[in-house]
């Protein structure tokens, strides 16, 4: 295709600009089997920022025992001092916050669950206990004028509980904001959502006083729904979208393809719609193709595959 870029044809009722919260280096690499060397991660994050991504979640200050892929957070973060992007980091608890603050992190994220079963399995706590754990973390971050994002996983379906009631999600979302979180990221962790469900949740949050400006959406492409769900969220007024460069985080050949929305597929749509992102699709695709080589497998992003023409 001449130029290999989408034609720009705006549609009514969409935001003029979207902020992409790039999660490939954290959520993506955390879920890849390969443990990537620290220097490669640093180069990856530099390249992502160089492609125009203004927010690149960098790593997680979780105990190394739980996430060996990100056990090098202390070594990695100082290598990023000259990255021209916001670099939020995940902190699971007060100890993680101490480590992040000591290295100069200015944006953190806590990781909550909308369901009791996932809270128990992922955090070994009830939902209320996890909120109690976050309370001093968020309070101290706010004292330090650090921006806090609250991830909320299993917002649509849960592998053990099935459908998750919208009311339940709204309750935990409000609690995270009441703790002091600056923004939420609504996660469809198992990728089951469809556009009507997305709208129903966003509408219920709006009725509970949570504006679209405080909401990011975080869709997984397990059933191929992530981009359609994103379109529905944009039509509602959401302007923050999580995505993972190259679709990192879900191997297309794995038993259950639980990958994140690929940033390139998102940027293709937003470029076509004339929605500004600041991202250079060509540079981003080259970065993801480069990382796919380091991981030793093709990217699950359809746009990366189509534009890089490297598979046979």
Binding site for its own copies (CB under 8 A): 1-3, 6-7, 9-11, 156-163, 190-197, 199-200, 221-225, 227-228, 230-232, 252-258, 262, 265, 268-269, 271-274, 298, 301-303, 305-306, 309, 311-312
Q: Which is nearer to its own copies, 179 or 201 (CB)?
A: 201
- d(CA 289, CA 267) in angstroms, rounded, equals 16
Q: Which is nearer to its own copies, 119 or 148 (CB)?
A: 119
Buried b (16+ CB within 10 A) or exposed e, 242-262: bbbbbbbbbbeeeeebbbbbb
Q: Which is nearer to its own copies, 145 or 253 (CB)?
A: 253
Report in angstroms how near the CB of residue 294 gets to its own copies at its nearest: 19
- 242: which strand partners? 21
Report in angstroms how near the CB of residue 280 gets to its own copies at its nearest: 16
Report in angstroms how near the CB of residue 139 gets to its own copies at its nearest: 35
Closest C-alpha to 231, from 278, 193, 184, 204:
193
Looking at 251, 267, 281, 289, which residue is catalytic?
251
Give me Rg for the CA atoms of the chain.
Answer: 18
Buried b (16+ CB within 10 A) or exposed e, 164-178: bebebbbebbebbbe
Based on the residue annotation, tell me whether 181 is a catalytic residue of this protein.
Answer: no
Q: Which is nearer to its own copies, 93 or 258 (CB)?
A: 258
Report in angstroms how near the CB of residue 184 gets to its own copies at its nearest: 20
- d(CA 191, CA 232) in angstroms, rounded, equals 15
Catalytic sites, residue numbers: 251
């Amino acid at each position: 295709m001449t130029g290999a870029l989408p034609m720009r044809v705006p549609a009514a009722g969409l935001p003029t600009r979207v902020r992409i919260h790039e999660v490939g280096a954290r959520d993506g690499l955390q879920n890849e089997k390969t443990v990537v060397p620290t220097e490669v991660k640093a180069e990856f994050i530099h390249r992502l920022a160089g492609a125009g991504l203004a927010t690149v979640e960098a790593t997680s200050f979780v105990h190394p025992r739980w996430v060996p892929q990100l056990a090098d957070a202390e070594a990695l973060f100082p290598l990023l001092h000259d990255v021209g992007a916001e670099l939020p980091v995940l902190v699971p608890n007060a100890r993680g916050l101490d480590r992040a603050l000591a290295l100069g992190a200015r944006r953190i994220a806590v990781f909550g669950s909308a369901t009791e079963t996932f809270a128990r399995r992922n955090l070994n706590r009830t939902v209320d206990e996890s909120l109690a754990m976050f309370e001093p973390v968020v309070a101290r971050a706010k004292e330090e004028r650090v921006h806090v994002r609250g991830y909320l996983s299993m917002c649509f379906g849960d592998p053990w509980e099935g459908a998750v009631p919208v009311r339940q999600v709204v309750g935990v979302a409000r609690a995270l904001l009441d703790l002091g979180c600056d923004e939420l990221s609504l996660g469809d962790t198992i990728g089951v959502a469809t556009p009507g469900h997305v709208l129903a949740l966003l509408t219920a949050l709006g009725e509970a006083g949570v504006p679209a400006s405080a909401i990011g959406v975080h869709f997984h492409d397990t059933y191929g729904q992530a981009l359609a769900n994103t379109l529905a969220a944009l039509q509602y007024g959401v302007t923050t979208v999580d995505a993972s460069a190259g679709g990192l985080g879900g191997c297309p050949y794995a038993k259950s393809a639980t990958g994140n929305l690929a940033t390139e597929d998102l940027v293709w749509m937003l470029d076509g719609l004339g929605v500004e992102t600041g991202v250079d699709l060509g540079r981003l695709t080259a970065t993801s193709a480069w990382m796919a080589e380091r991981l030793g497998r093709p990217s699950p992003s359809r746009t990366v595959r189509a534009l890089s023409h490297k598979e046979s």
